[in-house]
Amino acid sequence: MKEQHSHQFSSLRAAAYAVGLARRQHALLAVVYVQPMPAAGAALGAPVAETTDEIAEDLVAQIRDAAERLKGIFEVRWEFHTFRGDPYNGLVKAADELRADAVVVGASEQAGHRIVGSVAVRLVKAGRWPVTVVP
């Protein structure tokens, strides 16, 4: 439970940072959730896939709720997008399709710091957008 909590706080801090950035730049804020694709093996067991969808829907609801609250505090234009894929490719696809000027990600402790850290590092190395990692 604690892991899930730290992940959400990191995401919310990243969202709050991005809101501030969008407000100062008078930019459109795109909130992106990358929904994990089930692994080939997991896809064979329907219950696993359903659970993943339930978790995703719960997360989407929480992010929407947080974004609504943040939107009330700061007057920014924002939109919500869901992409499927692994974290890195999902974010790259999102940034490309949305023609992002910058990417803000939360450094999550969930599933081991290295995984998300490597996503941020790969985004930086791609060299296509300024990337900010919010702890």
- pLDDT tens across 87-107, in order? 889 999 999 999 999 999 887
In the beta sheet, which residues pair with residue 132? 104
Contact 102, 129 (CB under 8 A): yes
* Structural tokens at position 18: 């991005």
pLDDT at residue number 3: 42
pLDDT category, 52, cuts 50, 70, 90?
low
pTM of the predicted structure, to 2 decimals: 0.70
Over residues 74-85, the pLDDT tens digits come to 577 888 888 888
Alpha-carbon distance 102 to 11, whole Å? 16
